[in-house]
Structure 1
């Protein structure tokens, strides 16, 4: 349900900022602030989880995201880019809750099934995330009907989706709630770690944790770089908002739909091979992106493979991270991993908007290709320990 609001921060945010500013050079700013909010939200949610209030933290992130959606709607009506950017940062808080839900699923199952649990949550996310960009056209019509700018439609969808999801999580935190209360054992679980930062610092230096966080950051860096500029790139080649939404939806299918299968592969063969396969797929996707010239078959393959590479990288790295540290420290490390993803994306989002319009997309794809190849060549996997 919450994932239905995801396209507001990405697709709609890029187009709305461009419309308010009158130039595509600011396209990356709302995405960067959105991702910064997501990184901050991840730390907030993980802090609550570490104190035994996992469900409360997840609900809080969604409530803040819903409030951010309303701020953006008001900013768009007033034509204020500054307030639109502020709302985008708050909106990102909901993203952290949506993606940290995968670790809640991993907490609820035995160790050998964590990859499949993560994959199942990603599949559930896919249902909403695929619907989300497809609502760009219909929600825009509804927004115009009530006197709001077209692009406000997805933000109104996000407000409703985040709010309803927060209510479900809040209800699930109480064992007295019929049916939903069965989740209270996980949503209210958590153990307090020993005081001090030394244990956490040592856990973060474990080889498995280093590889996992590097993979999470790298996968998000490449994917966000591509998807920040894709709506503008397609629009500049004459694609309507409906067509743009369709291409983004195909990309989202690649990001989430294969997750249960990828999770099974991580459980059966280990998470590190899955991460490596993701890097190879991303390499191919970036190579195809160098030939993208608008809404073509080549662009379709490029976006689907970019999403698939992200899926392998994030599912594999998340599974690796859940087994890399002791259970008491796990919520904090999970939050830091999510914040690392947000920080990497926050760096790349404003940079890609600076690429020249005529051939910038191809240049971006080639730069991403070089970075992926370098990361793949430099990756070293220890033969023993948690990585084996």
Structure 2
């Protein structure tokens, strides 16, 4: 008897390489991440000739990311997940081009408008993890999420390292040096969008075999009541709270720590090195946390992330703000806590949301993370320095208590998901 798989046309078979393909596209796009952070702050300060506007591009970038998440997830709900991801990256590329033009013309308003559009690329980069989870069986979703996050680490770590070379390229092309990271973002987002578009088109050799995943969806917007009911289930609510809490704590820490280091005399090289260690903690351990979510369930991973984040806040509160070993430890712990919280919560959200509203719920989760970041950055910057880390510790503690309460209610068989029980 012939192998039954041999009777199935090659392009109609599931492609086991989909998570790897998506991870590669994500790593490429992540090369442009530095444009929305350090480069935006420096460019805005340079254009306005005052540090008072330094936070504006970051806030607008995060706002654009939150709105972009809803746009991308809406496309996914219509059966156009790949198209939505590519669209978000292309809009981000347009935003990068606008910022380059703004830098050349010396226009702060134009730069802020471009920064807002740039944020939509972030939403695509981080929503790819859900497409990877959809491409594998239920018991491997955490690992697929971790694979994409691990790939993000390559781009996220390399992105700031391209700051100097890209500035030289920008000057050689007749642009201001600070336009360099945005030129990298323009190229990275555009190429990644092309890869995802190719994966969405079945006619494209090899890559087109990802179309089964990238065109999956409900092909119809669910009713508002049905989506509301899905978001009110206990597991989905925990996932959304965990995503928001993890991002709130991490963004809060990274808003104040560089300032503290600078005030205590740490050079830019030391600050950059410590931030790089933090980024490694955020992404590099994702395959491990993803596998743990598959083996033990996502809620224990969320709980572990909350506890680690709480520990980071406690250590930070007792630190002196300088470049000490304690600072290094709590920055790495902050990254590890964020990773466990986001990977665990993402796996929980994927399990708990019904398939008919899953892509909408994923977009809401990403928008919730963006909203938490938009609140955290100015809030932590506004409170006195001695209160900042204790405030974040309270938030991490609340998340720990929430996850602990839910952990006690997880069924013995983790394959009987808790999402069936309403709050």
TM-score (normalised: structure 2)? 0.85
Unaligned stretches of 5+ residues in structure 1: none
Q: Which residue is equivalent to 2:17?
A: none
Match of 1:20 in 2: 47
- Supply the RMSD in Å over aligned alpha carbons: 2.1
Q: Which SS does the other structure have where 2:382 is aligned? A: coil
Tell me how far apart the structure 2 counterparts of residues 351 and 135 of structure 1 sit (CA, whole Å): 31
Higher relative contact order (CA closer than 8 Å, sequence separation 6+): 1
Q: Assess, with a 3 A threshold, how the Cα gap between structure 1 residues 90 and 231 changes in structure 2: closer, same or farther.
A: farther
Q: Residue 386 in 1 paired to residue 420 in 2?
A: no
Q: What corresponds to 1:45 in structure 2?
A: 72
- Give yes or no for the alignment of 1:143 onto 2:170: yes
Q: Indicate if the aligned counterparts of 1:29 and 1:349 stay in contact, CA closer than 8 A.
A: no
65-74 or 157-166, which deviates more: 65-74
TM-score with structure 1 length normalisation? 0.92
Alignment check: 8 A CA contact 1:39 1:342 kept: yes
Q: Is the 8 A contact 1:27 1:350 kept in 2?
A: no
How far the C-alpha of 1:311 sits from its partner, in A, is: 0.2
The separation in 2 between residues aligned to 1:264 and 1:218, in whole angstroms, is 22
Task: Say if 1:27 and 1:353, in contact at 8 Å, map to a contact too.
Answer: no
- 1:375 maps to 399
8 Å CA contact 1:15, 1:27 repeated in 2: yes
Shift of 1:117: 0.5
Is 1:330–2:362 an aligned residue pair? Answer: no
1:306 corresponds to: 334
Identify the range of structure 1 (174-183 vs 233-242) with the bigger mean alpha-carbon deviation.
233-242
Moved more, 151-160 or 106-115: 151-160
Q: Which shows bigger deviation, 193-202 or 288-297?
A: 288-297
Structure 1 runs of 4+ off > 6 angstroms? none
**Comparing 168-177 with 131-140, which one deviates more in the overlay?**
131-140
Contact 1:130–1:250 at 8 Å: present in 2 too? no
Contact 1:17-1:81 at 8 Å conserved across structures: yes
What per-residue deviation string (whole Å, max 9, x for no partner) do you get for residues 64-120 of structure 1?
Answer: 101111222222333333222211111110001000000000110010110000000
Larger Rg: 2
1:156-200 CA distance string (max 9 Å, x none): 111111011001111111111112111111111112357521111
**Which of 181, 192, 196 pairs up with 1:165?**
192
Shift of 1:246: 2.9
Q: Does residue 319 in structure 1 map to residue 347 in structure 2?
A: yes
Q: Are positions 1:183 and 2:210 aligned together? A: yes
Match of 2:110 among 58, 83, 86: 83
